Amino acid sequence: MSETILEDIFTKRSQQKKKTSPLNYKERWFVLSQEKVAYYDFDSDKGKRKGMKGSVDLEKIKCVEMVQSEPNTPPERLFAFQIVYDEGPLYVFAKSEDIRTQWIKKLKEMVRFNKDVMQKYHPCFWLDGVWLCCKQEVKQAMGCKVLDSKNGFSSNASRRRGSRKPLPPTPTEEKCVRPLPPQPPETPSPSVGMTVIAEYNFAPVTPQDLELRKDEEYTILEMSDQNWWKARDKYGKEGYIPCNYVVEAENGLERFDWYSKNMNRSQAENLLKTENKDGGFLVRDSSKAGKYTVSLFTKSGGETGGSCRHYNICTTAEGQFYLAERHFFSTIPELINYHQHNAAGMVSRLKYIVSNRALPPSTAGFGYGEWEIDPHNLTFIKELGSGQFGVVKYGKWQGQHDVAIKMIKEGSMSEDDFIEEAKIMMKLRHENLVQLYGVCTKQRPIYIVTEFLSNGCLLTYLREGLMQHPTAVQLLEMCKDISEGMAYLESQQYIHRDLAARNCLVDGNGSIKVTDFGLSRYVLDDEYTSSAGSKFPVRWSPPEVLLFCKFSSKSDIWAYGILMWEVYTLGRLPYERLNNTEIVDQVSRGLRLFRPQLANEKVYNIMTSCWMDKADERPTFQELALTVQDLLYELQ
């Protein structure tokens, strides 16, 4: 028998592996050995250990951390810690702070080289179907707090391996009816002290900002703001930088101009066709998570205007990479370098790098802590349209950054409340959300300045046939974009309240971004705000909103189903033959939209899952995003 390293009597919370098993707390005798943490029944009178009740193999442990106690916790349960392994968290309560610290320290030390060690964890309990810290309702949901270092240990192995768009957490096992697509390697979180490389130039806007020069190295000093990190350049100068402009220095593919992070198949085809160069290529994330694809444009092969080929980068059992023929390389950059000179099985060699790096991504505000924009820095170029709050114009900020400027018609918005909210909205940053850059509030009318998307409103884009024969992949990719933007909003506990195709915009390469989130709360127009009003989005609302004005992420889910329907009907009006009163009546009695011709059964199933009568039976956006990705994977 393996030697005992630590032993103590702890209270253990039942793990409720079955949904029906009750939540209870029992005293157990815990023993830590070289291989496992085991817990036993014991005879408290005789102080003797009895039969083993369960154990966790040390090699399966992913995280050991304290758990914050709840208000009114009984004294015997004040010092909680969690041992997280593949079956979820095991909650244990020590008798004192010292004992808890001793166990956490020892366990961390023993599991620190485990291969699945987590970077994020939940600091509070999972209780009654919800994480008390972040309110996510999926037990497997990724943690919401980043560990300072990988279980107290930071190594090169923990550095980022070719980052990709973070995937939403895995849905609960109960709801998962078929195997999920493979997950990419978990992207470890960057940490203070690490060296990063600038992917883009950044010119300081406030005195607190630090200039970024593409390809130069910087040291990260502070990461307390989710969008702006404090950094030092090689001359010792310090200041704030947009965190999405840098990548970790070691081995990320982001260093290479041929790598287009977060680009999907149709976007790659669009970009390559626009460049129109024979042998133009890029490397992108494959729809198969964790894998990469080379997209190559060729003018040979007889198709007028040229065509795109997509080659998956394959991996051998030994971890080597190869493309069309079996020429093996130990890294992807070496493989690309080889094929820049040799076609070796492909339609041509990789002749020209086509990059999506021409335009830097949006930042949360133009500079650190900067949300009031000086209107003198804005130039107005043309009118884009008008909406609930008045005219929207396209313009430039400081003569070079494209922006959309909403000029808020006086009396159309409760401005003071909005201005407060804008500070929160500005912190929301996701590639599928239209970025709020700031506001001009020192004059009337006030302006809301946002990211500009050159293809305008999604509804018009769909209705005016701007896609020309949309493919199944294109339509689903639109839905995927929206689901990911919404999954981010959901993770921030932010409710949109008016999700619809008219509130989504399309950028130059066909990506969709959600806009106007939360704005409906500031509209001063009874026709819009009252559910009986003529402008209320009745067609996008679930029964609980129509009947009781109960908004939640689940009412956004309903609207997402309707929005998917708009996408698959290329912009038809939902329930077009019914008026608002008829819709309220019929939808509450179970009427649902029909299956659009372009949607197959699986796609329609997603829509109908969003229209479950009971809000809690609808999926979460995290689950939806995964399901949509899964379907896309099947299509490609």
Closest to ligand ADP by CB, 220 or 404: 404
Shortest distance, position 453 Cβ to ligand ADP, whole Å: 4
Find out whether 51 and 130 touch, Cβ atoms under 8 Å: no
- Choose among 335, 330, 333, 332: nearest CA to 319: 330
CB of 506 to ligand ADP, least distance (A): 9
Of the two residues 67 and 434, which places its CB atom closer to ligand ADP in the complex? 434
Q: How far apart (Å, rounded) are the C-alpha atoms in residues 524 and 532?
A: 15
Look up tokens 């990419």; give the residue: 184
The smaller minimum CB distance to ligand ADP, of residues 252 and 537, is found at 537
What whole-number distance in Å separates Cα of residue 284 and Cα of residue 310? 10
CB of 464 to ligand ADP, least distance (A): 11
Residues in the annotated binding site: 406
**What is the separation of C-alpha 407 from the centre of its chain, rounded to a whole number of angstroms?**
30
Kindly tell me which of 389 and 488 has the beta carbon lying closer to ligand ADP: 389
CB 336, CB 283: distance < 8 Å: yes
Q: Which is nearer to ligand ADP, 246 or 404 (CB)?
A: 404
Catalytic residue list contains 498: yes
Phi, psi (degrees; rounded to nearest 5) at 571: 95, 25
Tell me the closest approach of the beta carbon of residue 496 to ligand ADP, in angstroms. Answer: 13
Q: Smallest distance, Å, CB 622 to ligand ADP?
A: 26
Burial of 352 per CB tally in 10 Å (0-12, 13-18, 19+): middle
Among residues 114, 121, 105, the alpha carbon closest in space to that of 67 is found at 121
Place of tokens 């951390």: 65
- Residue 203 Cβ vs ligand ADP, minimum distance, rounded to whole Å: 22
CB of 502 to ligand ADP, least distance (A): 6
Q: Which is nearer to ligand ADP, 457 or 593 (CB)?
A: 457
What is the distance between the alpha carbons of residues 24 and 14, in angstroms, rounded to a whole number? 5
**What is the β-pairing status of strands 352-353 and 280-285?**
parallel
Tokens representing 287?
Answer: 């729809």
Determine which one of 233, 285, 498, 516 is catalytic: 498
Say if residues 518 and 498 touch (Cβ distance below 8 Å): no
SS3 content of the chain, % helix, strand, coil (to 5): 25, 25, 50
Q: Which residues are annotated as a binding site for ATP?
A: 406
Tell me how far, at minimum, the Cβ of 155 lies from ligand ADP, in Å.
43
Question: Can you give the binding site for ligand ADP, defined by CB under 6 A?
Answer: 384-389, 392, 404, 406, 434, 450-453, 456-457, 505, 516
Closer to ligand ADP by Cβ: residue 12 or 430: 430
DSSP code string of 225-285: SSSEEEEE-TTS-EEEEEGGGEEETTT-GGGSTTEETT--HHHHHHHHHHHT-TTEEEEEE
Nearest by Cα to 500 from 487, 482, 488, 526: 482
How many whole angstroms separate alpha carbon 133 and alpha carbon 146? 13
CB of 553 vs ligand ADP, minimal distance in Å: 21
* Residue among 456, 248, 226, 261 at smallest CA distance from 364: 226
Nearest to 288 by CA among 186, 181, 185, 187: 181
Nearer to ligand ADP, 453 or 584 (CB): 453
Q: Which two tokens stand for residue 28?
A: 């157990």
* Dist. CA 614–CA 287, nearest whole Å: 32
Q: State the DSSP code for 143.
A: P
In angstroms, give the least distance from the CB of 408 to ligand ADP.
8
The residues near 224 (Cβ < 8 Å, ≥ 6 apart) are none
Nearest Cα to 486, choosing from 515, 528, 521? 515
Residue nearest to ligand ADP (CB): 387
Farthest CA pair distance, the chain: 87
Beta sheet of 390-397, edge-to-edge order: 378-387, 390-397, 401-407, 447-451, 436-440
Pick 12 or 393: Cβ nearer ligand ADP: 393
Q: Cα-flanking dihedrals φ and ψ of residue 391, to 5°? A: -80, 145
Taking the least distance from each CB to ligand ADP, the nearer of 290 and 518 is 518
Which among 115, 121, 165 is positioned nearest to 140, based on CA atoms?
121
The residues annotated with a catalytic role in the active site are 498
